[in-house]
Chain A
């Protein structure tokens, strides 16, 4: 039986990353081109060499794909960032409702368990934020078809940058360095937006995918 170099598959994670960022039309050409060269390199120079080459191409290509996504629809990305920040005002109180109801319902319990109340009021509130940002990420990704990652990353970056500036201002004003550790929650919120974008993107890809993904 003759060898069939094209059966050697490129790194799945790299293919996944490219799929995540590429517009449908770009993905068709770029993944096809990369697979063609990868198969050739694998048969000529070995699979390990071809895989390293594929990763190098992926790492260099993803920023370009993000750039294409932004350049071809800058207003959509801009509007989704503004919309996402405004949505936070709408979604955050809604997500907080069940927690407030729980506090009211078990008021007697919390009166006798102050540490539980403090945990619920602080970490619980941070978790509420996280959930609201996941929901915002889903909504933004839903309306930015094909550009889910660029839109959610842009929103995460803008939100993160605004929060960092705000916290630095607060720390310099109050001198309370302890505030800085809360930045970890801010980064988690920004990350949650992007994760939601990736989930929507993957779901859409799965709905339209062909039998072979490589």
Chain B
């Protein structure tokens, strides 16, 4: 595994969804958050396949919640972004920003509000 890996498009979206959801991030909420914000139907299989890959890379961690009756007695698997994952998402953002810079004349923009320090 390379240390300077960039996130793929869907990996990027998933990590951002996890960051938005914070400690409420599990399959259902991640899937719904992506559908709500990207307006595209996402399968739960795609979400888990990507989360598994991100976990293997060390960008996210997961833990199990308690089983609940509305899930047929099955537990939720909660996900959280690691420090390495935050670094990877920032690196990917920077790369996209750098690549988009000066392309405004083509109608290509990448406006990300950066916190002022």
Contact = CB atoms under 8 A, between A and B. Distances in A.
Interface of A: 6, 26, 28-37, 39, 56-57, 60-65, 67-68, 71-72, 210, 212, 214
B45 A35 contact: no
Nearest to B70: A6
A6 B74 CA distance: 13
A31 B74 contact: yes
Interface of B is mostly: helix
A64 B70 contact: no
Interface in B24-55: 26-28, 31-32, 41, 43-46, 48-49, 52-53
A60 B76 contact: no
Given A30-B27, A33-B28, 10 more contacts: A6-B70, A31-B72, A39-B70, A57-B44, A61-B43, A61-B44, A61-B46, A63-B45, A64-B46, A72-B52
B2 interface: no
Contacts of B70: 6, 35-36, 39
How large, as a class, is the contact surface on chain B?
A: 20 to 34
B77 interface: yes
Given A61-B44, A62-B45, A212 B72 contact: yes
Contacts of B52: 26, 68, 72
Contact of A60 (B26, B46, B75): B46
A60 to B, nearest CB: 3
A131 B49 CA distance: 36
A6 to B, nearest CB: 5
B44 A36 contact: no
Nearest to A31: B74
A167 to B, nearest CB: 35
Given A212-B73, A214-B72, A36 B28 contact: yes
B69 interface: yes
B80 to A, nearest CB: 15
Contacts of B49: 64-65, 67-68
Contact of B72 (A32, A62, A72): A32
A44 B31 CA distance: 18
Given A28-B74, A28-B75, A210-B73, A33 B31 contact: yes
A67 B41 CA distance: 20
Contact of B74 (A29, A56, A60, A67): A29
A211 to B, nearest CB: 8
Nearest to A61: B45
Contacts of A71: 53
